[in-house]
Amino acid sequence: MTRISARLLAIITITVASGGTPRTSTTQTSTSPSPAVSPLAPLAYLAGSCWKGTFAGRNVTDEHCFEWIYNGRFLRDHHIVVGDSVPYEGETTYTWDPGQKQIVYWYIALPGFYSHGSVESNGDALLFHDNLRIEDARELRTTWRRSGADTYTVYVEDVTGGKARQLWSMVMRRSRPAR
């Protein structure tokens, strides 16, 4: 399990990133769908904002910017890790899968790996079920727990071999409007 899309942050801890520079997306965005009718409603609080956190004990930040795209049918999350010697970034696209009746996502990263999975809403938490595609297969469990209007906490665990071990956690704070 993972994303932060987690999942994204978890991937950073187990991947050696390759070189590259951040880029700006040019895909058109649009207004958000009505949260009351959107199947993406559990993610709606993230949209239109960037959220930034700092890795514990390091001068390294991860910032995620969420934008509705294609008339609110998809939510994009572009993130950049700054402060490591090698740049790292990735992008996640979320949508509703009517066949599976769940939110699904695809994540692509600068080093060339990818993942896909689903998101489950459970009260104030988002649980990421991830299929990570890297050389060293690991099962990760990522939870984003909302702790206020402008904060959520990311918890990442390695559950490879059936034993859960917390890798790290990070508080994400709303940092600025997206774009």
The answer to whether position 111 is within a domain reads: yes
pLDDT for res 113: 84
State which residues form the domain around 104. Answer: 8-15+38-156
Contact 75, 67 (CB under 8 A): yes
Question: Would you say residue 51 lies in a domain?
Answer: yes
Q: Is residue 162 part of a domain?
A: no
pLDDT category at 32 given cuts 50, 70, 90 is: low
Q: Are strands 140-148 and 102-109 parallel, antiparallel or unpaired?
A: unpaired
Number of domains in the chain: 1
pLDDT surpasses 50 at 163: yes
Q: If you average pLDDT over residues 137-157, what whole number do you get?
A: 90
Residue 166 covered by a domain = no
Is 171 within a domain? no
CA distance 42 to 124: 9
CATH of the domain at 45: 2.40.128
Residue among 167, 156, 134, 152 at smallest CA distance from 52: 152
Name the residue among 56, 57, 90 with its Cα closest to residue 170.
56
